[in-house]
Amino acid sequence: MGNLPAVKRQHLLAEFAGLKQACPNSVYVSLTPGDPSLWSGIIFVRRGPYVTAILRFQISFPDTYPSLPPLVTFSTDIFHPLIAPLTTYMYTTDIQDTGTVSATDEERLPPGGFSLRHGFPDWFGRGRRSRQVSAQRPTTPLQTPPRPAAGSRLQPSSVASTPTSAASSSLVGSIPAFMQTRPREVSTYDVLRYIRSAFDDEEVLDSIPLEAAGNPGAWHAWRAHRRQTGKALPPAPGEDGESASTSSPPSSVVGGGGGVGATARRPAEWNWEGVWLERSKRGIAGSLSEAVLYGNAGTADELINFLNMDDTDVDGIKKNLLRTLGATS
């Protein structure tokens, strides 16, 4: 990101400074020295389905941000519907139940990539293309129907020759740019708050469509888990609401492929019972292991590190902080 425009650089620095005053609870971020387009972060999950997990991630901002989305990648290995597994090939954010990944897909996710498609659809696919089409749509001057001659009756055909929709679209296109309303730009605060909600809010996970999933296998496993706990979820495309097969997928299954051969069952037809609970618990336990927290077992050059201290050291730090706060109050 060495060619990041100066205006964009200042924009990111200003957003980071704003987060010092108002950052989503339990989320901590740090700038990469000399590169404001690369942030490192940690989420402490305080509640919800991934409670107690400590998750590391990075945010890489393109020079087109905020017109185009940042790339969010997790270095913590966690089984989650929106996160592409660390041990697999690149996933598309528009994968279908029976589709395949295209090598030319512009919206593919790298291993550990977090899909923002559900939370911010205007950044992706149809939403982005519709804005581009609207921007390129030619405008024509608004025309009024001809005035009928004196004494003549207005015929229905003359009214239909000027459709209301065409007039409306022409009128919108003729509005000066400073009077047109545009959607509010997405801030880094919005992105961080949505990422956190994807770990501590069951309703957010329930509302994710399959085409927005970064890990289709985790998506199916989560929905099966919710149905087991009595949550009524409307069937998604390719689902019938019940387990359609008694053959469970292998424990290593993480994606949306349904196997090889014409008789291979679709992922929606697999028995996902217990898969999400087992895999998520394993990921949460791994995120709390000493090797991950203190041994730099994640990506190299972590900017946010933990110190392995005993209770006596922690109590001493607390007393020093209280003493300092008391002296400044």
230-286 residue pLDDT tens: 888 877 665 654 444 444 554 445 444 444 444 566 766 677 888 999 999 999 999
H or E element, residue 38:
strand 35-44
The pair of three-digit structure tokens given for residue 261, joined into one six-digit string: 């051969």
SS3 label, residue 84 = coil
pLDDT confidence band for 44 (50 / 70 / 90)? very high
Tell me if 58 sits within 8 A of 76, measured CB to CB.
no
The arithmetic mean of pLDDT across residues 294-320, rounded, is 73
**How far is it, in rounded angstroms, from Cα 298 to Cα 183?**
37
Whether 73 shows a pLDDT value over 70: the answer reads yes
Cα distances from 124 to residues 25, 63, 73, 327, in angstroms, run: 27, 17, 17, 51
Q: How many residues does the chain have?
A: 329
What's the pLDDT band for 208 if we cut at 50, 70, 90? Answer: very high
User: What per-residue confidence (pLDDT) applies to 25?
Assistant: 93
Locate 16 and state its tokens: 């980071």
Residues whose CB falls within 8 Å of the CB of residue 315, separated by 6 or more in sequence, listed in order = none
Q: Is the pTM value of this prediction over 0.85?
A: no
Question: What percent of the chain stands above pLDDT 90?
Answer: 39
Q: What angle do CA 73, 128, 93 make, to 5 degrees?
A: 35
> Is residue 50 scored above 50 in pLDDT?
yes
Distances (CA, A) of 264 to 113, 167, 194, 252, 305: 28, 52, 36, 17, 45
Q: What pLDDT does residue 246 have?
A: 44
Confidence tier at 5 by pLDDT (50, 70, 90): confident
Within 10 Å of residue 128's Cβ, how many Cβ atoms? 16
